[in-house]
Amino acid sequence: MKDLDLKILTLQDFSDLPLVKEDGKTFQENAIKKSREYQRVFGKIVLAEDSGLQVPAIGGRPGVYSARFAGKEQNDKRNIKKLLKLLKDIPQKKRKAVFRSVVAITLLDGKTEV
């Protein structure tokens, strides 16, 4: 990629950037929303991602709520504690989880692909 004329930036490279409200029901909805909204802000090609933990034994939760599963303050320790409490009666063999990540790209013409 060093031969390409690319400059890759992340949200951390900007100050006072409005946060996109992640109110989608799926990782895909949130990734698309973030990609489209930041593409409108910057007028550049934008990649955006949404991800989280899905535990089949508890209906796929926490899912899109992974970061704020135990409250809005996004506390990892509280999220883990809540998850383990929900799993306390689930046999060890059924305690499986998947980390899911969805990436969306919005191009200069506004077209979005996942």
Separation CA 81–CA 14 (nearest Å): 33
Active-site residue, 50 included: yes
Q: 92 — phi, psi (to 5°)?
A: -55, -40
| Residues facing residue 46 across a β-bridge | 106
Residue 10 buriedness (CB in 10 A; 0-12 / 13-18 / 19+): exposed
Catalytic residue among 5, 13, 16, 50: 50
How deeply is 40 buried, as exposed, middle or buried, from its count of CB atoms within 10 A (0-12, 13-18, 19+)?
exposed
Which of the residues are catalytic? 50
